[in-house]
Amino acid sequence: MTSHAATLRATYKTGRTRPLAWRRNQLEQMIKMLEENEADLLAALRTDLGKPTVEGFITDIAFVTGEIKQMLKNLKKWNKPQRVPSPIVTMPAKSTLMPEPLGVVLVIAPWNYPIQLLLVPAAGAIAAGNTVVMKPSEVSAATSAVLARLVPKYMDTSAVVLVEGGVPETTDLLSQHFDHIFYTGNGTVGRIVMAAAANNLTPVTLELGGKSPVIIDGSANIKVAARRIAWGKWLNAGQTCVAPDYILVNEKVRQPFIDELGKAITDFYGANPETSESYGRVVSPRHFDRLKGMLGSGTNIIGGETNAETRYIAPTVLADVDMTSPLMNEEIFGPLLPIISVSSTQQAIDHINARPHPLALYVFAENKAVVSDVLAHTTAGGVTVNGTLMHLTNPHLPFGGIGESGMGGYHGKSGVRLFQHMKPVLSRGTKLDPSLAYPPYTDRKAKIFRKVL
């Protein structure tokens, strides 16, 4: 197969991607590609995921253009050398951190947000001055096909390449020498990516997932909590890496929360969500079967209806869940929401800390002491207090995991800096060159060193 890495490395070595003018043009072209082909892209998202038009626009078009526009606004500033202090021992000198692109970047994207999770990291790599290979998921085949048609039309094909395909094509790419690999997906494949990268000592960013919990304290605004959780959970039919995976609710407010959650589902999607224009579908028959198999791990108290022909699974809430089942030990990545009663915030914290660090953690409480306790005694990739998903929408907050939920963060400035080496440069003047700094080391020099160092 073609060595895309070698081809793009040849381009990189010419210096083509270094000028800010080139980077700006490519970012502007990416926005143009999305805006001029919005209808085709939204139609592809509907084919792949049954994604509502408004939802597709918000999460896969506007989110990306917003990120890129911020990169364009700050492109010069973020790529400018930064002065840092110099210690006395170096004087006379000035010290600088010089942003330098890494070279050739590989971005491997998942199927759940197939435009956003491909183009946002790719845009960061371009803004940093790199050449890029983009690998969309074969599971979201319609979106992949549209992007494969558009990228060569809008982007500089000598520096930005999109490669379609499945496991063989991805395996071939991983055998090539890249300077950074950015992977979004599950931990199983993440381990494969990391192992392959080790052969070339290639640094990796892994955006994985896990079971992102929600704590609902007795002091929470239950109606608001229910609506915000319902939105975050059933967006994209639950196929979101930071979707609420399960609820840890104070037993005192358990039933009022369930009641409000049922009302929120009806408000959002109507009495029959299957007919709603605002509710998506499971991406494939394989994932449908996997999720349907999880339904037997608890008691359906809301939803539970399925339709294999259309890959529909209703917004579903489960109680009395089997804690040893896949439902509670694997990332659900679908529209099933288990509810677990707890007697205290400490019990919820203990439950979370007994498991791998989640990608996201959500806590609903009006009691600030409870929020502080949760933040101080749990670890997660990111947190939203009294909300879900929203921490990843702020480009000033790096988005990423920790431990089994991933490594490395991006978005905004972090998404550019991720693909750069901050090269340390110390420049010394020559007008002064005191003999104190050189041998022979006398007792007098030793005394001076002890005073100033």
Q: Which of 241, 260, 331, 404 is catalytic?
A: 241
pLDDT at 448: 87
Quote the CA–CA distance of 168 and 174 in Å, as a whole number.
10
Element counts in the chain: helices (H) and strands (E): 17, 20
Ramachandran area for residue 359 (φ above 0: left; ψ -120 to 50: alpha; else beta) = alpha
Summarize pLDDT for 404-453 with one digit per residue, the tens. 999 999 999 999 999 999 999 999 999 888 888 899 999 998 898 888 87
* CATH, residue 37: 3.40.605.10
Identify whether 79 is part of a domain: yes
Whose structure tokens read 């449908």?
288
pLDDT of residue 437: 80
- Parallel, antiparallel or unpaired: strands 306-307 and 312-313: antiparallel
Residue 433 within a domain: no
- Tell me whether residue 441 is in a domain: no
User: Within this chain, do residues 79 and 109 fall inside the same structural domain, yes or no?
Assistant: yes
Q: Which residues contact 406 (CB under 8 A, 6 or more apart)?
A: 190, 205, 206, 207, 208, 209, 359, 381, 400
In which element (H, E) is residue 77 found?
helix 63-78
* 236/63 Cα distance (integer angstroms): 15
Whether 207 is a known active-site residue: answer yes
Same domain as 419, residue 285: no
Q: What is the pLDDT of residue 449?
A: 85
Q: Clarify whether residues 239 and 335 are in a common domain.
A: yes
What is the distance between the alpha carbons of residues 288 and 237, in angstroms, rounded to a whole number? 11
| C-alpha 406 chain-centroid distance | 9
138/186 same-domain check: yes
Catalytic position from the list 207, 260, 331, 404: 207
Helix axes 116-127, 20-36, angle to 10 degrees: 160
Q: Are residues 371 and 327 in the same domain?
A: yes
User: 28-32: long-range contacts at Cβ-Cβ below 8 A with a sequence spacing of 24 or more?
Assistant: 28/72, 29/154, 29/155, 30/64, 30/68, 30/119, 30/122, 30/123, 30/126, 30/154, 30/155, 31/65, 31/68, 31/69, 32/154
Same domain, 114 and 152: yes
The pTM assigned to this predicted structure is 0.95
Predicted pLDDT at 378: 97
Total residue length of the chain = 453
Map residue 400 onto helix, strand or coil: strand
* Full domain range(s) for residue 199: 4-208+409-425
In a domain, 446, yes or no: no
User: Residue 118 is inside which H or E element, if any?
Assistant: helix 116-127
Query: Under DSSP, is residue 368 helix (H, G, I), strand (E, B) or coil?
Result: helix
Both 121 and 248 in one domain: the answer is no
In a domain, 315, yes or no: yes
Quickly count: other Cβ atoms within 10 Å of residue 161's Cβ. Answer: 21
268 is a domain residue:
yes
Reading the block at residue 288, the tokens are 């449908």
Tokens of 166: 């499945």
Yes or no: say if 211 and 358 are a contact pair by the CB < 8 Å rule. yes
Same domain, yes or no: 204 and 268:
no
CA angle 436, 438, 440 (to 5 degrees): 95
* 16 class by beta-carbon count within 10 Å (0-12 exposed, 13-18 middle, 19+ buried): middle
* CATH number of 320's domain: 3.40.309.10
Identify the pLDDT of residue 64.
98
Q: List all residues 6 or more positions away from 159 whose beta carbon is below 8 Å from its beta carbon.
A: 8, 11, 12, 16, 17, 26, 131, 132
**Same structural domain for residues 335 and 374?**
yes
CA distance 77 to 350: 44
Q: How far apart are the first and last CA of the chain?
A: 57
**Nearest residue to 108 (alpha-carbon basis) of 44, 177, 204:** 204
Residues 51, 190, single domain; the answer is yes
Residue 102 lies in a domain: yes
- Same domain as 11, residue 113: yes
- 100 catalytic? Reply is no
Q: Does a structural domain hold residue 437?
A: no
316, 339 Cβ separation under 8 angstroms: no
| H-helix segments, 140-276 | 141-154, 167-174, 187-198, 222-234, 254-269
Q: Which helix (H) or strand (E) holds 385?
A: strand 382-385
- Output the six-digit token pair for 154: 């809008």
Q: Which residues of the chain have pLDDT under 50?
A: none
Burial of 444 (0-12, 13-18, 19+ CB in 10 A): exposed
The number of distinct structural domains making up the chain is 2
Mapping DSSP to helix (H, G, I), strand (E, B) and coil, where does residue 281 land?
A: coil
Query: Are 287 and 313 in the same domain?
Result: yes
Q: Which residues are CB-contacts of 316 (< 8 A; sequence separation ≥ 6)?
A: 295, 300, 302, 303, 304, 335, 336, 337
